[in-house]
Structure 1
Amino acid sequence: MLGDIAGFSGAVRVDRAGVTEFAAAYGLADRAADVPNTVGTRFGIASATKGLTALAVMSLVEDKTLALDTPARELLGADLPLIGADVTVEHLLAHRSGIGDYFDEDTAGDITDFVLPVPVHELADTEDYLKVLGGHPAKFPAGERFAYCNSGYVVLALIASRAAGLPFHDLVTRRVCEPAGMTGTGFPRSDELPAGAARGYLHASGSDRTNVFHLPVRGSGDGGAYSTVADFGAFWTALFAGRIVPGARVLEMLRPRSDATEGPRRYGLGFWLHGTGKAVTLEGYDAGVSFRSVHDPDTALTWTVVSNTSDGAWPVARRLAELLAGG
């Protein structure tokens, strides 16, 4: 299907109406040990994690543990005092909270930079992120406009964990991964990756190196989960079948809240939406990670591309989008 994609390291899968039409893997999961990627390899998915976070939160809304209009302050207590009383769960989900961002992608610099203000090993549990979330003034009043915000999704992880009385990683496993049948998805530490997981690579200072010093040692609500292309085939099926949250909640999440500031896309609650059609996207980009998964409910077409390099997924994703257009 894809022809020559020299240099690509990662995996690709295409499904239509529950039937896998194409699945292949390329390159190496561990370059030092010469371990190849496979279609079952677990890759980092970066900000695609936000979709899982949003669903975990929405499952708590469904059982009335939270509400979309719950103020963030209600569960933050004395923590993060710069987050205003006007910020709600829905604002955070829709990237319309206006809160300051600990990792502002507009000003973060090059993907090869070391951008975190604390040693990455200090960010292992969601409560640990309090040390980087604080001290960032609000950019605008809640609800005023769209501004993509990583901090917002870590705050959501804190709120959800505290409301449910369960560690965030366990909450995602129980509320999202298990009902979706995503058996290869979770939040391993980057310094003790399990067998079958790909190391992320970036090119800097004339050499290739892993991303272990660039990202939190364990992800939270904004990113850092690992998954497989098969799990995302299962994910989209389960989502639209109402197995993670009921169909009415899915429709609520996919109702556009904002036109995106770049390109012909809109945003709902945790998901990127096509500018005019019904296709839904999750994507992630970080040091040593690039990921895109798209599902069109009208055609029952799903495709996922993931790479264990910073930019590797994008040329393949563009080619797939062209090949599958109208398909």
Structure 2
Amino acid sequence: MPSLAEQVEAIAAATGFAGVVAVDDPAPVPGTGGRSFAAAYGMAHRAHRIPNTVDTRFAIASGTKGLTALTMVSLIEDGALRLSTTARSVLGKDLPLIGDDVTVEQLLAHRSGIGDYVDEEADHAVTDYLVPVPVHELATTEQYLTVLDGYPAKFAPGQRFSYCNGGYVVLALIAERTGGVPFPDLVRERVCVPAGMPDTEFLRSDELPDRTAIGYLSATQPRTNLLHLPVRAGGDGGIYSTAADLSAFWRALFGGRIVPHRWVAELVRPRSRASDRMRYGLGFWLHGSSDAVILDGYDAGVSFRSVHRPGTGLTHTVISNSSEGVWPIARHLYELLSG
């Protein structure tokens, strides 16, 4: 039987995958010869023929939400906020269509019912132009007020689960106004530094540094995602990271080095049955019948999945600089390793 690395290689070749695949297995099953490996495929910059490497930085889209949730919990641990804090108590007169009773906890759990600036339930392609203002106008958290405003509530707070990107931008606003420093700095200081994630940060898409992948709309199309996403992302998605940083993230999270263990348990406690196979906690997806904790990201020029099994310490991460690139390999690893 082919090794795990050989199976991944075959899928990558068949699909034209560009990105990085990493499996971190601290306690491999006896007789398997070990399953840990990291491999890079395809181009980080197609025009200049710059290949991806295992330490290339990629945008992770909504994988950012887990880091946003941890930033909020860190502020709560410091006494600056509570899960029961209402958005209105921090927003003041901004975003008046958000109800007075919407709480931080409901925003984290996607149970706030607020209207969303990107409707996840609408029928649109990932490559559509969805940002309602010129993307260069979204470089700071406060600038998102323009696109968040004017969306009426979909249902009463707490009534049900409804995935909401706008809710996580609101959380970033709350964090920034409460913490007194820009949201990207809060994430770096409260999550990335204690987790040992030196290559994880919010970057501007129009001035990407070296060792950073440009996002492409498909595996074959040369068009980039530069005009599709905010020039600098916020609380709902878009931070850049590496496979190694993500492995470090999971170890630090469940080692209690970002927030105390009691808060880790709270973050991964199921709040909703999101689908037949998936549940949701606070900022993290949870497998419906195993202990797998998951961060997912999907956007124009970005696809990402990182899965961690707290019981065994197994982590597998697939990260790509094309819209659909991750899913064939991610599904294979998910079925093979996570059950």
Report the TM range for the smaller structure's normalisation.
over 0.9
Question: Which residue, 304, 308, 320 being the options, matches 2:333?
Answer: 320
Tell me: CA distance 1:108–1:117, structure 2 relative to 1, closer, same or farther (3 Å).
farther
Q: Which amino acid aligns with 2:280?
A: Y
Determine the structure 2 residue equivalent to 1:61: 76
Considering fraction of residues, name the structure with more strand: 1
- Please report how far the alpha carbon of residue 64 of structure 1 lies from its aligned counterpart in structure 2 after TM superposition: 0.8
User: 49, 52, 56: which one pairs with 1:37?
Assistant: 52
Unaligned runs of 5+ in 2: 29-34
In structure 1, what is the equivalent of residue 110 of structure 2?
Answer: 95
Contact 2:296 2:306 in 1 (8 A): yes
SS at match of 2:168: helix
- Aligned pair count reads 324
Matched, 1:49 2:64: yes
Aligned equivalents of 1:69, 1:59: Cα separation in 2: 15
Q: Are 1:108 and 1:115, in contact at CA under 8 Å, matched by a contact in 2?
A: no
User: Is the 8 Å Cα contact of residues 120 and 216 (structure 1) preserved in structure 2?
Assistant: yes
Q: Tell me, in whole angstroms, the C-alpha distance in 1 between the residues paired with 2:295 and 2:196.
A: 18
Choose from 135, 141, 144 the match for 2:159: 144
| 1:196-236 superposed Cα distances (whole Å, 9 cap, x missing partner) | 000000149x9420000000000000001000000000000
Which residue among 3, 13, 29 is the counterpart of 2:9? 3
Q: Could you tell me how far apart the structure 2 residues matched to 1:45 and 1:103 are?
A: 17
Matched residue, 1:197: 212
Q: Structure 1 263/201 Cα, relative in aligned 2: closer, same or farther at 3 Å? A: farther
Give, in whole Å, the separation in 1 of the partners of 2:128 and 2:25. 39
State, as a whole percentage, how many aligned pairs show the same letter.
Answer: 65
Match of 2:206, SS?
Answer: helix
How far the C-alpha of 1:298 sits from its partner, in A, is 1.1
Equivalent-residue separation in structure 1 for 2:232 and 2:338 (angstroms): 36
User: Which residue identity lines up with residue 81 of structure 1 in the other structure?
Assistant: P
Q: Note the C-alpha offset of 1:3.
A: 3.3
Task: Compute the TM-score of the two structures, normalised by the length of structure 1.
Answer: 0.97
Q: Deviations over 1:58-116 (max 9, x none)?
A: 00011110000000000001100000011000000000000000011211611111111
After superposition, the C-alpha distances for 1:234-262 in whole angstroms (9 at most, x for unaligned) are 000000000000000000111111000x3
Q: How far apart in 2 are the matches of 1:281 and 1:246?
A: 19
Does residue 109 (structure 1) correspond to residue 124 (structure 2)? The answer is yes
Of 208-217 and 10-19, the range deviating more from structure 2: 10-19
Per-residue CA deviation, residues 23-44 of structure 1 (Å, 9 max, x unaligned), is: 0000000000100000000001
> 1:299 and 1:18, CA in 2 relative to 1: closer, same or farther beyond 3 A?
closer
- Out of 172, 194, 197, which is 1:179 matched to? 194
Does the residue aligned with 2:223 lie in a helix, a strand or coil?
A: strand
RMSD (CA atoms)? 1.5
Flag the 1:137–1:325 CA change in 2: closer, same or farther, 3 A.
closer
Report the Cα distance in structure 2 between the residues aligned to 1:274 and 1:12, rounded to whole angstroms: 20
Alignment of 1:217 onto 2:231: yes
Q: Offset at 1:18?
A: 8.1
Note if contact 2:104-2:171 (Cα within 8 Å) is conserved in structure 1: yes
Shift of 1:276: 1.9
Partner of 2:32: none
Q: Does 1:240 align with 2:249?
A: no
Query: Contact 2:46/2:222 (CA < 8 Å) preserved in 1?
Result: no
1:282 to 288, 295, 304: 295
Q: What amino acid sits opposite 1:112 in the alignment?
A: T
Secondary structure, in 3 states, of the residue corresponding to 1:302?
A: strand
Task: Give 2:280's aligned residue.
Answer: 267
Distance 1:39 1:323 in 2: 22
